[in-house]
A and B are shown apart, each in its own frame.
Chain A
Amino acid sequence: MPTEPVIPTESEPGWFDQRLGLASLRRLMGHKTVPLHSASIWYYFGGITLFLFVIQVLTGILLLLYYRPTTTEAYESVQFIMTRVKFGWLVRSIHSWSSNLMILAAFIHMFSVVFLHAYRKPREVTWLSGIALLGLVLAFGFSGYLLPWNKVSYFATKVGTDMAGSVPFIGAYMARFLRGGNDVGGATLTRFFGFHVAVLPGLMTLMLMVHLILVQMHGMSTPPWVRNLQARQMPFFPNFFLRELMAWYGALAVLGALAALLPWDLGEKADPFSSAPAGIRPEWYFLAPFYTLKLIPSHVWRVEGELVGLIGFALLAFWWVALPFWASTRDGLGRTKLVTGAGVLLIAYLVTFSALGYWR
């Protein structure tokens, strides 16, 4: 007796659904919502940072095809990429510009978390993972800066690793560890290349997963001044996702315009036997500590100025990292005004000292 063919009904999961469990993912995405209020625009910056990081990975992989991490070939290989490889100038320019935009987006994301008070219980660990990500992003910037082996990057690395050397007790070991020897040279370049393309991406992926899982677990935070939460929520998918996609297009447009209209300069090749050029300064995100170090005199009381600066930066960093803990109060309301004031002060310091470091 012939059997009737079984026709799958609409509710029956398809081939991929059965094997990949897509239905549960759809359910999860269906439940996720984003609060809607006057400051909702700041929610987009975490995604923009992630998007720029993906661009960094993709353009970094392309640059790896030609880059050579030795003191005799690094500068020439970047020059080769920029002058001989098809679209090489564009790929390198996008890599450099997107690294700067990624750091800017990460800073905006961090300050938006501060001003929207999204670090509050139970999101303290999310804050810490975000700070770790910001540290990794800055480490990417510092290690990648040396790779073209030009004059400015050479001296920036000398200064940066020498500062690490001033840390009490372990400084000498740290400086040698970073430099791969007593001085900045070929061993430093090899190490920084290893950090930049292997160690940091591994750590970044791990920390990014932790951060995203925690964001997923706790949901999007609503600022304390927004009431009646249930009334104003936007579904994450597709509403917020599509808006985020448009924000990525916006970031891509800015990135493309900057990379094409202001191609990233290569500068002069590093020469360990030349003087630091006049007007030397680090990348904009290190300008504030750079200018601070310029202002600190050689000795403060009997302590070397360099060490005083380092201790000051360490205390400032510790105070900032611990923000969710000193900002919380037993009544659960938190010291929101104090945090807002601290955020404004920190931005004022960073902007003023960066501007002074750039122009003076």
Chain B
Amino acid sequence: MEHQRRALVRWLLGTGVGASIASFLYPAIRFMDPPDIPEAPVNEAPAGKIQDLKANSGKIVKFGSRPVLLVRVDESEWRAFSAVCTHLNCTVQFRDDTHQIWCACHNGLYDLHGKVISGPPPAPLEEYTVRLRGDDVVVARRT
């Protein structure tokens, strides 16, 4: 009887302390989880003037909160890709000497269609559409 009473007290004390700790920890852990901040969907973004980018060169443009690599392959051909390397999230760049897209972080190489040529990237770069409106260059998400 004595043993049972002690066991009951021990169980109540243990679960009480455990529940108290859980009630402190749960809100703290939830607090550390950052809330979702919805972004307005971006379907196209201005990418500067045609004359700002020479043939065989590239630049990073803002597409909402994401970087996009705009490449002017030659006088008339333009391409755009997500600039986020599919390997470990670094921002890629256009190499005018090799006509390839290169990630300096882990030496990933993509061709000018976004396909992986060599290195560790596991997937191609997402391609965007480039539209020319008068003097303006506009990058748009592919539908």
Contact = CB atoms under 8 A, between A and B. Distances in A.
A277 B120 contact: no
A287 to B, nearest CB: 12
Nearest to B106: A294
Given A162-B88, A276-B90, A176 B34 contact: yes
A294 B33 CA distance: 31
Contacts of A29: none
Interface in B58-85: 60-62, 65, 67, 69, 83
B69 to A, nearest CB: 8
Nearest to A274: B60
Contacts of A272: 67, 91
Contacts of B89: 158-159, 161-162
Interface in B37-75: 37, 60-62, 65, 67, 69
A158 B90 contact: yes
A8 interface: no
Q: Is the interface of B mostly helix, strand, loop or mixed?
A: loop
Contact of B120 (A176, A279, A280, A298): A298
B116 A298 contact: yes
A306 B90 CA distance: 14
B85 to A, nearest CB: 8
Interface residues of B, number: 29
Given A298-B120, A298-B121, A275 B34 contact: no
Interface in B69-125: 69, 83, 87-93, 103-107, 116, 119-123
Contacts of B87: 298, 305-306
Interface string B19-45: 000000000000011100100000000
A235 interface: no
A306 B91 CA distance: 17
Contact of B90 (A159, A183, A279): A159
A176 B67 contact: no
A179 B60 CA distance: 23
B88 A275 contact: no
B122 A304 contact: yes
B37 A275 contact: no
Nearest to A290: B106
A162 B67 CA distance: 16
A181 B104 contact: no
Q: Which of B90, B92, B123 has the most chain A CB atoms closer than 10 A to its own CB?
A: B90
Given A162-B89, A277-B104, A183 B65 contact: yes
B106 A275 contact: no
Given A159-B88, A306-B122, 18 more contacts: A158-B89, A159-B89, A163-B88, A173-B33, A176-B33, A179-B34, A181-B34, A181-B37, A273-B61, A273-B91, A274-B91, A276-B103, A280-B104, A280-B105, A294-B106, A296-B120, A298-B120, A298-B123
Interface of A: 155, 158-159, 161-163, 173, 176-177, 179-181, 183, 187, 272-280, 290, 293-294, 296-299, 304-306
Top 6 closest A-B pairs, CB basis? A275-B93, A162-B89, A276-B90, A276-B104, A298-B122, A159-B88
Interface of B: 32-34, 37, 60-62, 65, 67, 69, 83, 87-93, 103-107, 116, 119-123
